[in-house]
Chain A
Amino acid sequence: MVADSGYVREVYEASYRRLVAQAYAVTGDRTEAEDAVQEAFARAVAAGDRFGRVDNPEAWLRTVALNVVRRRWRRSRMFRSLGPRIASPAEVPGISEDHVAVVQAMRSLPFQQREVLALFYVADLSVQEIATMLGVASGTVKSRLNRGRAALGALVGANVEADHG
């Protein structure tokens, strides 16, 4: 497998939208999500051959994109404490109002709960995969998932089924 721009382009065309959807669930802002995913692909291009040797390129890109999101979130948290947010978050034009409401509700959750909910429901990762990716115990992932769902349910006014596993 050749790790050149051509290979990255293939992965880009196949995974870009999926990765943005996952990042969007975390950030609640389309612009931020697209920016983080584009940054991950740019790093893949800059990584050259090393990216070609990665077993699961999409997982690699997801991790990079989430790291970008997490770093920006930490940085913005400081500025947010200094003053109100100036611009409202950008939405994905055309998606259902239900989904917009869910994303808006997720924005009010703690970042770690948001992250776990997005990886579990939107990225379709198992609890174990999420634990490995985040470097935490699976019990921690379950705990964050439960709390996140409960909080989200309360926020959107829906009952939450506890069927994760």
Chain B
Amino acid sequence: MDDRLRTLRSDVEDHLALPEFAVVQARARGIQRRRTAIATAAVVLVTAVTAVTVARLTDTTRSAPPVDRPPTLKVDSEEARRVLRDPRAQLDTDLSRVDGTGSMLAVVRVTKPSFRTQEARACPRGSSVLRWTSWGGSRHVWLDAPREVRALPAGFVLGAPPRECRGPRQHGAYFVDADGHPRSITWTHGARRVCAPDPRDPRCRFNLFTGKGTLLDVDQPRGTKLLTAGRGGPWWAASKGDRRLYWSADGRTWRHQDSGWPDDAIPSASAVGRWGVLAGGTQVLFTHDAGATWEERDLAPALSGLEVADVDWTVTRRGTLLGVTQLVGRGDVLFRSTDASWTRFVQSPVHTSFGLVRPVAVAEALYVVDDERWAVSLDDGAHWRRTPPIP
């Protein structure tokens, strides 16, 4: 057997023809062509990957729109209810809001004594909850970091928590819809940077139906504050002294109206929808057709029977005029026109524990912030209802 194997080689060598070396050379050329092709493909691939990477880094408009998804929320969990039941729980009146349907999103925090820094004490983990309460009485509560809240006609936008308050997967903003359920926000170009940290910015527009957050392109007059951003009506802005109202159809070209009140009058400017009001005491200059016509009126006769000092005026989308006057020893008193012609005013039975009354209008709802139980009206102040207590 061994011999047979050992003689195999010589037998094969003796009977094997030697092919032309050109055959080998041709194959070598094929190998070199393959290597060149592979090297070229590698260079092309590396170039393409580099180009795509650079394009992704530099072209922010090309990428898919950013989406903020709500954090994983344990709605109505026992932990959240426990925070709500804590005797130290307090309503954060700066962050809480009421939407246009009368639903309330209450930010409730338990402030525990701490020797740590102010920032650390601002957001202790597991000690703040959001409680959603509908006008009809439905409720949901969940643990979440304190956030800026923007009230919508039906629902809310919860901004991204401040950096020092972020927990795991709590870096984005999200919607709370009309049923109190969290939903994602898809941001259009450039909106996330501005609107996620502070959705209350008037330039930010939100649509719960499409789930989109948009940053409106506004070129407002210098030194003005934006009042409303063109939703279902013109854009409104007021001068810092509230003596001039600006309006615009596109957010770029503006017209304005001056009140012309004497310097000793305390001015106020209010605008929503097609209504705009410049006021100084009982004198008002107003438009109900988005600035097309203006009318001046002294409301003193309509206010007869009411005790009135300096008045801060607010107009609602339906044209009801609300006034707040501060009376010595009695705190703020709220009164309202009984109709859009402003020929008669009546006092509203709304008072707060700290005396200040500041009506806030959101779409069809009107609310007044109080220590804990806020006053909410869905008929421009004719009837009021208090939000539920905590817990």
A contact residues vs B (CB 8 Å cutoff): 5, 8-9, 12-13, 16-18, 20-22, 24-25, 30, 34, 38-39, 41-46, 92-96, 98-99, 102-103, 117, 121-123, 149, 152-153, 156, 158-161, 163
Give A120's nearest chain B residue, CB to CB. B5
> Any chain A CB within 8 A of the CB of B54?
no
Interface of B: prevailing SS: helix
Chain A residues with CB under 8 A of B354? none
Interface-side segment among B14-22, B62-70, B79-87, B378-386? B14-22
Can you pick out 23 interface pairs between chain A and chain B where the beta carbons lie within 8 Å of each other? Answer: A12-B18, A16-B19, A17-B16, A17-B18, A21-B8, A25-B5, A25-B8, A30-B16, A41-B27, A42-B27, A45-B28, A94-B15, A95-B11, A95-B12, A98-B4, A99-B8, A102-B4, A102-B5, A102-B8, A103-B8, A153-B1, A156-B1, A160-B1
Interface-side segment among B29-37, B182-190, B200-208, B214-222? B29-37
Interface of A: prevailing SS: helix
CB within 8 Å for A92 and B12 given contacts A38-B23, A99-B4: yes
Q: Is the CB of B4 within 8 A of A9?
A: no
Q: Is the CB of B18 within 8 A of A13?
A: yes
CB distance from B297 to the nearest CB of A (A): 94
> Any chain A CB within 8 A of the CB of B330?
no
> Any chain A CB within 8 A of the CB of B9?
yes
CB distance from A152 to the nearest CB of B (A): 6
A33 to B139, CA, bound (A): 82
Give B27's nearest chain A residue, CB to CB. A42
Which of B7, B18, B27, B35 is A39 in contact with, Cβ under 8 Å? B27
Which of A93, A103, A117 is B15 in contact with, Cβ under 8 Å? A93
Q: Is the CB of B11 within 8 A of A99?
A: yes
Chain B residues with CB under 8 A of A99? 4, 7-8, 11-12
B: number of interface residues (CB 8 Å): 27
Q: Is the CB of B9 within 8 A of A21?
A: yes
CB within 8 Å for A159 and B15 given contacts A12-B21, A38-B24, A43-B28: no
B contact residues vs A (CB 8 Å cutoff): 1-2, 4-16, 18-19, 21, 23-25, 27-28, 30-32, 35
Of B12, B28, B30, chain A has the most CB atoms within 10 Å of the CB of: B12
Chain B residues with CB under 8 A of A17? 12-13, 16, 18
A-B contacts counted at CB < 8 A amount to 104
Give B33's nearest chain A residue, CB to CB. A46
Which of B2, B7, B12, B25 is A45 in contact with, Cβ under 8 Å? B25
Chain A residues with CB under 8 A of B23? 38
Chain B residues with CB under 8 A of A22? 9
Chain B residues with CB under 8 A of A159? 1
CB within 8 Å for A45 and B24 given contacts A16-B18, A17-B18: yes
Chain A residues with CB under 8 A of B13? 17-18, 21
CB distance from A78 to the nearest CB of B (A): 23
Chain B residues with CB under 8 A of A25? 5, 8-9
A161 to B14, CA, bound (A): 27
Question: Besides the contacts A12-B18, A38-B23, what 20 more A-B pairs have beta carbons closer than 8 Å?
Answer: A13-B21, A17-B13, A17-B18, A21-B9, A21-B10, A25-B8, A42-B25, A45-B25, A45-B28, A93-B15, A94-B14, A96-B11, A98-B4, A99-B7, A121-B8, A122-B8, A152-B1, A156-B1, A156-B4, A158-B1
A123 to B11, CA, bound (A): 13
Chain B residues with CB under 8 A of A161? 1-2
CB distance from A159 to the nearest CB of B (A): 7
